[in-house]
Amino acid sequence: MRVVTGVRADIPRVLVIVGPTAVGKTALAIRLGQRLGGEVISADSRQIYRHMDIGTAKATAEEQAALPHHLLDIVDPDAELTLAHYQRLAFVAIEDVWARGKLPMLVGGTGLYVQAVTEGWTVPGVPPDKALRERLLAEAHSLGPEAFHLKLAAVDPIAAQRIDPRNIRRVIRALEVYQRTGRPISELQRKVPPPYYFLVIGLTMPREALYQRVDARIECMMAQGLEAEVRWLVAHGYAYDLPAMSGLGYQQIGQHLRGEITPQEAVALIKHHTRRFVRQQYNWFRPADPVIHWFDTTALDEAALRDLLRTFLKGETRIGEPRA
């Protein structure tokens, strides 16, 4: 990640806003974007899907009208968007926004997407192997997440350390790359920092307050018609076993629609798993990370935020140290 050490008008500046779900990233991005002439580039691995609006907490039509958003609704729920493809699209969007005299704003809670862009990961260009993935998925179900994760640890301990055993899709991808290339994915994921200056703002709040916001958001999603959204998706041929349909909310509502659990149990499960997801997001965006400038959204220090943005955009001081 580049450091601002002086004015270089030809080098794009990118404002990055990260943090856990429901903390207020979209609201702050719109407010800052309107003031600074910015445009949002989404870094959310669920909001890439068309027709999946409520359960992904996608920016509303009104919010998108208030500030341009990029990389929303770019694939159908039965399509796949690789990390390498997302990264390329994000770089194109950054260049386009900057070339039009606007401020690119990378906003989202998917740490994998954010770091692939800000750190310039060289993502392995290994195309998906459907048959191999199906075999690995069957093996994962047979062994269980922990034992299956040990298979990755045996061939790529670095990747295994980075990937949560419960994230079966990422474990499968790492094993797929190894079996197809004979090289660990961690070895192929080198970092070539892109030619941009980044300022990373992290949003947080006391954990219990955040959990209350999560619960309130889920209740709002149900009132807005999350169940109807899932019914529509299934009626239009999007199967329950698609990766897109395994996301928070969609998976649990699917269980209810199949008669496996009650509506009340589905809501309780969504809340439980979303809270766990919040804890996982804090593993990506660590409070001790010196690159991230943290702000508590329950008592936002507006003056400090303005000063930080001013020095960043003018290139007057060093903003953020490169990641190790």
- How many whole angstroms separate alpha carbon 59 and alpha carbon 44? 11
Asked whether the beta carbons of 119 and 323 are under 8 A apart, the reply is yes
- How many whole angstroms separate alpha carbon 128 and alpha carbon 196? 30
For residue range 183-216, list pLDDT tens digits in order.
999 887 788 899 999 999 999 999 999 999 999 9
Which residue is associated with the tokens 């109807």?
228
pLDDT of residue 17: 98
Return the structure tokens found at 288. Answer: 């001790």
pLDDT of residue 323: 37
Give the neighbor-by-neighbor strand order of the sheet with 103-107: 69-70, 38-42, 103-107, 13-18, 197-204, 292-296
Domain 15-122+199-314: give its CATH superfamily: P-loop containing nucleotide triphosphate hydrolases (3.40.50.300)
pLDDT of residue 8: 63
- How many whole angstroms separate alpha carbon 86 and alpha carbon 63? 22
pTM: 0.85
pLDDT of residue 187: 83
For residue range 258-283, list pLDDT tens digits in order.
999 999 999 999 999 999 999 999 98
pLDDT of residue 316: 55
For residue range 224-237, list pLDDT tens digits in order.
999 999 999 999 99
Check if CATH label 1.10.10.10 holds for domain 130-188.
no
At residue 320 the predicted structure's pLDDT band, cuts being 50, 70 and 90, is very low
- Would you kindly state where each structural domain of the chain is located, as residue ranges? 15-122+199-314, 130-188
For residue range 106-150, list pLDDT tens digits in order.
999 999 999 999 999 987 778 888 899 999 999 999 999 999 999
pLDDT of residue 314: 84
- How many whole angstroms separate alpha carbon 57 and alpha carbon 68? 17
Mean pLDDT of 163-173: 91
pLDDT of residue 189: 76
CB-based burial, 140-169: b 16+ in 10 Å, e otherwise = beeeeeeebbebbeebbeebbebbebebbe
Q: Which parts of the chain fold into alpha helices (H)?
A: 25-36, 61-66, 83-99, 111-118, 130-143, 145-155, 157-162, 168-181, 185-188, 207-224, 226-235, 250-257, 263-284, 302-314
Average confidence score pLDDT of the chain: 92
- Point out which residues pair with 200 in neighbouring strands: 16, 292
pLDDT of residue 18: 98
